[in-house]
Amino acid sequence: MPDIPFLIFSSFVLFIPAFVANPAAVITGGHFPMDFGRKFIDGKRILGDGKTWSGYFGGSLSGVVVGLILYGMFLLLGLQNYLSYGNGILSVTVTLFAMSFGSLTGDVMGSFIKRRIGIERGGKGSLLDQWPFALVSFLFLFIFSTNFFMTYYGNIIGAVSILIITPPLHRLVNIIGFRMKKKEVPW
């Protein structure tokens, strides 16, 4: 019988790199639009100026760094048997790259869909702003770090707790970013 509160807690704590990648992209972003300014066949921008290479790589790599810090903390606290990104630095790094790059790849996919349905850059996407990053992070983890994925998110409790916590957390972080004048809109 799995310990449910602990599973919810660990699924959240281990997902911090995926959460961090998005606000970090706001800080490093703004340079080199990922669609190079080009339009899709519908005449609208493929992604828009809100998705840049500097945000994508800066945000993803920030997630990896935060994950490595967490990994070091779990070791120092003797928690590595309970909170683990993998066995050894190589598998830990693979997990963190999959999680963080998955997060911002999902963010890009969300923007692609937003543009196609006519929501302009910075427009409110609701769940399209809040879920794709978590879902694609799960997908990348499933592909590149299957053991880790199955341990923490391959069960209904771990996966659903992330999907439930993500919308209010995303909103809260964006309100903070807005108050700090890092974001133009509070969503």
Q: Where along the sequence are the contacts to ligand CTP (CB under 6 A)?
A: 25-26, 29-30, 48, 50-52, 55-56, 104, 107, 111, 114, 121-123
Contact yes or no for 85/14 (Cβ under 8 A): yes
Cβ-based nearer residue to ligand CTP, 55 or 63: 55
Closest separation between CB of residue 59 and ligand CTP, Å?
A: 6
Cβ-based nearer residue to ligand CTP, 29 or 67: 29
Closest separation between CB of residue 51 and ligand CTP, Å?
A: 4
C-alpha–C-alpha distance, residues 17 and 70, integer Å: 9
Cβ-based nearer residue to ligand CTP, 35 or 158: 35
Q: State how far the alpha carbon of 65 is from the alpha carbons of 92, 96, 150, in Å.
A: 11, 9, 23
C-alpha–C-alpha distance, residues 47 and 49, integer Å: 7
Cβ-based nearer residue to ligand CTP, 56 or 85: 56
Closest separation between CB of residue 50 and ligand CTP, Å?
A: 3
User: Torsion-angle region of residue 83: left (phi > 0), alpha (psi -120 to 50) or beta?
Assistant: beta
Closest separation between CB of residue 19 and ligand CTP, Å?
A: 13
Closest separation between CB of residue 151 and ligand CTP, Å?
A: 29
- For 143, the token pair is 């592909």
Q: What is the helix, strand, coil percentage profile of the chain, to 5?
A: 65, 0, 30
**In degrees rounded to 5, what are phi and psi of residue 55?**
-70, -40
Cβ-based nearer residue to ligand CTP, 85 or 131: 131
Closest separation between CB of residue 178 and ligand CTP, Å?
A: 11
Cβ-based nearer residue to ligand CTP, 44 or 121: 121
Amino acid identity, residue 142?
A: F
Please report which residue ranges of 44-88 form alpha helices under DSSP H. Answer: 53-76
